[in-house]
Structure 1
Amino acid sequence: MSEVLLSARGLTKRFGGLAAVNDVTLDLWRQRIHAVIGPNGAGKSTLTNLLSGDLEPSAGTVTLSGRDVTGWSPERISRAGLGRSYQKTNIFLPFTVWENIRLAAQSRTPQAARWLARASSVKQANERAERALELAGLAPRRDHVAGAASHGEQRQLEIAMTLATDPQVMLLDEPLAGMGTAEAERMVELLLRLKEQHAMMLVEHDMDAVFALADHLTVMVNGQVIASGTPQQVRADANVQAAYLGVDEVGHG
């Protein structure tokens, strides 16, 4: 059943006199993909960092699964059920696909501090890693070295590592960046599968992918939300058309 898993209210981040994010409010629902779009410098990545705890807000609140997590550390927010991927792929290149995923899974087990124990003996972590491997469609690449994988497979691996931490909410920062057509299609299929069990926020520049995936769209310009609604509503919004097409109002140059 759909439910709000993450909420932001009046979220603001100032750097000196610059408001990189200014009074942003949004809800992320289970079984829905919420895409955040906008030109470079709009504040999309800053917003993601505020939601994940990588940045502390200047004002506003973030609620995760009913708990106020405003000002929590990224590690604490992650343990509370939020996972994220980054613009730059963040994996261990010399390790195999399986070893990368198992490392992520181990961070969620009580045995994580038992550094003398063999990783292969941590049953709970192994089971979580197996599920993530299958969900991400990487089982055929299990024993391949991550550094030798294609760009698309490395992005899949990062999502698998996120899944291995057992998140309820997933924040994905440009997961399709740099992909060819076939890789992008596989990623779209993966994200559509994952939304059945997660609330997801997607920051992405590939508009074809955005409109194929998004149940809800938020458009940011200069740190502010200028439109939010269904993809159809956003397409028809005069403010969005002005921001992207350089027109003053619909139908006028």
Structure 2
Amino acid sequence: MAPEALQPAGVALSARQLTKRFGGLAAVNEVSLDLWVDRIHAVIGPNGAGKSTLTNLLSGDLPPSSGQITLGGRDVTGWAPERISRAGLGRSYQKTNIFPTLSVWDNVRLAAQSRDAQQPWNPLRWLQRADRSAAANARAERAIELAGLQARRHTVAGAASHGEQRQLEIAMTLATEPQVLLLDEPLAGMGAAEAERMVELLLSLKPRHAMMLVEHDMDAVFTLADHLTVMVNGTVIASGAPEAVRNDRGVQAAYLGEEH
């Protein structure tokens, strides 16, 4: 069967029977999921459930022990992370990953500039100032606008608030023009006002992207998620519509708590 046939129509990314073993431990055990444009797929579970390992497998930061990943209809299993990124996948990390001494604008422009390497070879391009790349600058402008950081474009990134730094990381990801976004705890450490702004940002990005959200903030999860997957000990114990999963007795006992 051709790889294209393994990804359902309309799906941006698919994983099938994805497994990662570290010695005798299966950190991710035969996990399958589909990510659709205009849907947010939340993955929840206790610490050590395998959520970050799953994210690392999908982004290429870890090679799978077995299973398959398709992105945009192509089999990308085992591809290097930079190759998967160029194929249309962007991700954020649990810890903010920015250049703190550079401005918000320069952080985003550098991310946008990474895509210039995909353009046809032109030796004269290497004699030009990088910050004069019209295509990169346009991608950076759009990403800053989408992330709501126009008023902070000249701020040194390290001086921005925690919430703004998380917005900046998403803006840097958007500057690479991905179709799929993998967001690893984007609301971590935020106060109520910052978390509300992040929820609004993610909802605004939803119509143009397929998103997988790993998050511990259950209020945000049930506000954002169209589909919910629960992992425990590397295994999916429930997956489906958020309310159905929320009312699942096995999920309540294993993770959400009987009071839910």
Normalization by structure 1: what TM-score?
0.95
Conserved 8 A contact 1:5-1:30: yes
Name the aligned partner's letter for residue 230 of structure 2.
Answer: V
- CA deviation after TM superposition for structure 1 residue 121, in Å: 1.3
Q: 2: distance between equivalents of 1:223 and 1:244?
A: 13
1:188-209 CA distance string (max 9 Å, x none): 0000000110000000000000
- Residue 195 of structure 1 aligns to a residue whose secondary structure is helix
Q: 1: distance between equivalents of 2:127 and 2:192?
A: 44
Q: 2: distance between equivalents of 1:211 and 1:187?
A: 14
1:203 is aligned to 2:210: no
2:246 corresponds to which of 235, 243, 251: 235
Q: 1: distance between equivalents of 2:32 and 2:86?
A: 23
Normalization by structure 2: what TM-score?
0.92
Q: 2: distance between equivalents of 1:185 and 1:129?
A: 24
Name the aligned partner's letter for residue 57 of structure 2.
Answer: L
- Residue 207 of structure 2 aligns to a residue whose secondary structure is coil
1:141 corresponds to which of 152, 157, 172: 152
How much identity, in percent, do the aligned residues show? 78
1:160 is aligned to 2:167: no
For structure 2, the 5+ residue unaligned runs are 1-8
- Residue 57 of structure 1 aligns to a residue whose secondary structure is coil
- CA deviation after TM superposition for structure 1 residue 244, in Å: 2.2
Q: 1:242 to 1:106 in 2, by over 3 A?
A: same
- CA deviation after TM superposition for structure 1 residue 118, in Å: 1.1
Q: Residue in 2 aligned with 1:104?
A: 111
1:39 is aligned to 2:46: yes
For structure 1, the 5+ residue unaligned runs are none
1:92 corresponds to which of 81, 86, 99: 99
Conserved 8 A contact 1:171-1:201: yes
Q: 2: distance between equivalents of 1:179 and 1:81?
A: 28
Measured on the aligned residues, the alpha-carbon RMSD in Å equals: 1.7
Superposed, 1:62-81 pairs within 5 Å as: 62-81=69-88
1:192 corresponds to which of 181, 203, 221: 203
Conserved 8 A contact 1:37-1:204: yes
After superposing the two structures, state which structure 1 stretch, 165-174 or 237-246, moved more.
237-246
Conserved 8 A contact 1:106-1:112: no
